[in-house]
């Protein structure tokens, strides 16, 4: 029989992963459909350029951003559930991994290509 | 719909299903598909591949984690190593000659394939699977029924997996699955599901740089990512019905193929 802690952790992570995926698919899917009827495109471009371009590219860019942020959001959910169930060491590890991801995100945003 | 988009979606579905079945991110298929099939520059293919790695992970892991097949606690410990490795890999990529890297990678993959085959022949496999018991199902204390060993060594190994991810746009499953199964002695099915969960975190660490730097083409990435998400869901659903033995055999075949490609690149024939 599965424990309450295991069930809560699995549920919370699955919920966030599913939610993030739905959000990402909505953005990427809408952008993809719009792109079929729109020839103007930015090509390979920094995220900021995609978002500023508007229309299909902005929707796809927002979807891609949602996709890349989903694992980080799942880490937040894992840390919260682990802390609540008294698994402090595991919660700290989850926070440490999350911090590393956020540092990478900040560094990438600061050192981004020309937009 | 343009033919290219249809082909990209189909390629994504195949890579996603394959990735979820074997605990891989699908980058092994996506990078060659984009570079060789569609003439996409390598950095753009790697960037797109990393987003697909995350898509494979989130699509499959939502099912695996909920069903208790992925060991989240183990995955978090190893993810600390893979994330640092992915950052380092992205930096080292600019300095290390590609042929040396390819040669080292080919040797590692070939060794892993042989080790997994030997483990299979020695009958070292999931007893729980044979008895129809889910070996990953936590017991009353919330801990899995198996015991993992050599955790510090495995975290060091996961650093290498992250390195490979940041360098080559793969999920790192070719390293983390054997690492978890052979070194840590977790059941194969748990190793595959846990790797699938981890690679989303690893992929994100590398993907941010590519996304902000401008190495992703939104019009090419969209159909591939959508296909990968659909394929990952299919793979995660049919995976539990497959026999572990065949999963290992399939995995060894993939390792052999990638090792050959890497060896050819190392000697300048690819």
Span B52-76, pLDDT tens digits: 999 888 877 888 888 888 888 889 9
Comparing C-alpha atoms, which of B35, B83, B147, B249 is closest to residue A100? Answer: B83
Interface test with A, best of B13, B46, B48, B214 (most A CBs within 10 A): B214
Q: Which of A9, A17, A65 sits opposite B61 (nearest CB)?
A: A17
Angle separating helix axes B3-22 and B188-213, nearest 10 degrees: 140
The whole-number pLDDT of residue B91 equals: 64
For residues B170 and B202, is the Cβ–Cβ distance under 8 A? no
B230 vs A38, residue with greater confidence: B230
For residues B82 and B165, is the Cβ–Cβ distance under 8 A? yes
Q: What is d(CA B158, CA B180) in angstroms, rounded to the nearest whole number?
A: 9
Span B178-191, pLDDT tens digits: 888 888 888 888 88
Most confident option among B31-45, B120-134, B214-228: B214-228
Q: What is d(CA B194, CA A45) in angstroms, rounded to the nearest whole number?
A: 33
The whole-number pLDDT of residue A3 equals: 59
In the three-class reduction of DSSP (H, G, I as helix; E, B as strand; rest coil), residue B25 is classed as coil
Burial letters B105-130, b for 16+ CB under 10 A, else e: bbebbbebbebbeebbeeeebbebbe
Q: What is d(CA B57, CA B201) in angstroms, rounded to the nearest whole number?
A: 9
The whole-number pLDDT of residue B145 equals: 61
Q: What DSSP state is assigned to residue B249?
A: H
How far does the CA of residue A74 sit from the closest CA of chain B (Å)?
Answer: 9
Task: For chain A, positions 6-45, list CB contacts with chain B under 8 A.
Answer: 6, 9-11, 13-14, 17-18, 20-21, 24-25, 28-29, 31-32, 35-36, 41-45
| pLDDT > 70? residue B88 | yes
B183 vs B148, residue with greater confidence: B183
ipTM value, please give it.
0.90
Residue of A nearest to B87 (CA): A104
Burial class (CB in 10 A: 0-12, 13-18, 19+), A28: buried
The whole-number pLDDT of residue B215 equals: 84
Interface test with B, best of A2, A3, A5, A6 (most B CBs within 10 A): A6
- CB within 8 A of B183, min separation 6: which ones? B149, B150, B153, B154, B157
Q: What is d(CA B21, CA B240) in angstroms, rounded to the nearest whole number?
A: 9
Q: Would you put residue B143 in left (φ > 0), alpha (ψ -120 to 50) or beta?
A: beta
How far does the CA of residue B110 sit from the closest CA of chain A (Å)?
Answer: 30
The whole-number pLDDT of residue A66 equals: 96
For residues B236 and B66, is the Cβ–Cβ distance under 8 A? no
Task: Please state, for a pLDDT cut of 90, what percent of chain B lies above it.
Answer: 11
pLDDT grade, residue B139 (50/70/90)?
Answer: very low
Most confident option among A53-57, B92-96, B174-178, B223-227: B223-227
Comparing C-alpha atoms, which of B54, B51, B88 is closest to residue B166? Answer: B88
How far does the CA of residue A102 sit from the closest CA of chain B (Å)?
Answer: 9
Q: What is d(CA A109, CA A114) in angstroms, rounded to the nearest whole number?
A: 11
pLDDT grade, residue B141 (50/70/90)?
Answer: very low
| Tokens matching residue A59 | 């929707």
| pLDDT > 90? residue B226 | yes
pLDDT grade, residue B130 (50/70/90)?
Answer: very low
From A35-39, B21-25, B174-178, B254-258, the region with the lowest mean pLDDT: B21-25
- CB within 8 A of B10, min separation 6: which ones? B227
How far does the CA of residue A41 sit from the closest CA of chain B (Å)?
Answer: 8
Say yes or no for a CB contact (<8 Å) between A67 and B222: no
Q: What is the mean pLDDT of residues B237-263?
A: 77
Q: What is d(CA B248, CA B243) in angstroms, rounded to the nearest whole number?
A: 9
A34 vs B139, residue with greater confidence: A34
Q: What is d(CA B138, CA B120) in angstroms, rounded to the nearest whole number?
A: 25
Interface test with A, best of B212, B213, B226, B232 (most A CBs within 10 A): B212
pLDDT grade, residue B131 (50/70/90)?
Answer: very low
Q: What is the mean pLDDT of residues B97-115?
A: 72
Most confident option among B1-15, B132-146, B245-259: B1-15
pLDDT tens, N- to C-terminus, chain A (115 residues): 455 556 788 899 999 999 999 999 999 999 999 988 876 777 778 888 888 888 899 999 999 999 999 999 999 999 999 999 999 999 999 999 999 999 988 988 887 655 5
Q: What is the mean pLDDT of residues B79-85?
A: 90
Total Cβ atoms within 10 A of residue B2: 11
The pLDDT mean for chain B works out to 78
The whole-number pLDDT of residue B144 equals: 58
| pLDDT > 50? residue B137 | no
Q: What is d(CA B174, CA B109) in angstroms, rounded to the nearest whole number?
A: 8
How far does the CA of residue B142 sit from the closest CA of chain A (Å)?
Answer: 5
Say yes or no for a CB contact (<8 Å) between A11 and B66: yes
Task: Count Cα atoms within 13 angstroms, Cβ side, for B49.
Answer: 30
The whole-number pLDDT of residue B93 equals: 60
């Amino acid at each position: 029989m599965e424990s309450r802690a295991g069930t809560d952790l699995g549920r919370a992570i699955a919920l966030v992963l599913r939610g993030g995926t739905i959000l990402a698919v909505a953005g990427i899917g809408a952008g993809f459909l719009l792109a079929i009827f729109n020839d103007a495109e930015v090509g390979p471009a920094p995220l900021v350029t995609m978002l500023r371009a508007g229309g299909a590219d902005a929707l796809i860019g927002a979807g891609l951003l949602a996709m890349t942020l989903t694992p980080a959001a799942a880490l937040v959910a894992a840390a919260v559930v682990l802390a609540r169930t008294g698994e402090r060491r595991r919660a700290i590890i989850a926070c440490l991994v999350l911090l590393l991801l956020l540092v990478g995100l900040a560094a990438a945003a600061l050192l981004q290509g020309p937009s | 719909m343009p033919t290219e988009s249809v082909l990209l979606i189909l390629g994504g579905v195949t890579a996603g299903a394959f990735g979820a079945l074997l605990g891989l991110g699908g980058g092994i298929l996506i990078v060659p598909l984009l570079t060789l099939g569609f003439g996409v520059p390598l950095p753009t293919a790697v960037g797109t591949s990393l987003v697909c790695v995350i898509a494979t992970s989130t699509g499959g892991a939502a099912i695996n984690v909920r069903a208790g097949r992925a060991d989240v606690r183990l995955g978090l410990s190893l993810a600390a190593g893979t994330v640092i490795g992915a950052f380092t890999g992205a930096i080292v990529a600019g300095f290390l000659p590609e042929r040396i890297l390819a040669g080292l990678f080919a040797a590692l993959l070939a060794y892993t394939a042989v080790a997994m085959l030997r483990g299979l022949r020695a009958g070292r496999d999931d007893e729980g699977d044979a008895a129809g018991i889910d070996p990953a199902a936590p017991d009353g204390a919330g801990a899995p029924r198996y015991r993992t060993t050599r955790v510090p060594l495995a975290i060091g190994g996961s650093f290498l997996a992250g390195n490979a991810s940041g360098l080559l746009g793969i999920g790192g499953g070719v390293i983390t699955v054997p690492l978890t199964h052979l070194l840590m002695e977790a059941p194969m099915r748990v190793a595959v599901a846990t790797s699938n969960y981890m690679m989303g975190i690893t992929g994100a660490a590398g993907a941010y740089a590519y996304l902000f730097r401008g190495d992703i083409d939104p019009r090419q990435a969209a159909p591939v990512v959508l296909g990968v998400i659909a394929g990952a869901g299919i793979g995660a659903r049919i995976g539990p019905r497959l026999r572990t033995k065949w999963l290992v055999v399939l995995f060894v075949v993939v390792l052999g193929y990638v090792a050959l490609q890497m060896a050819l690149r190392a000697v300048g024939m690819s």
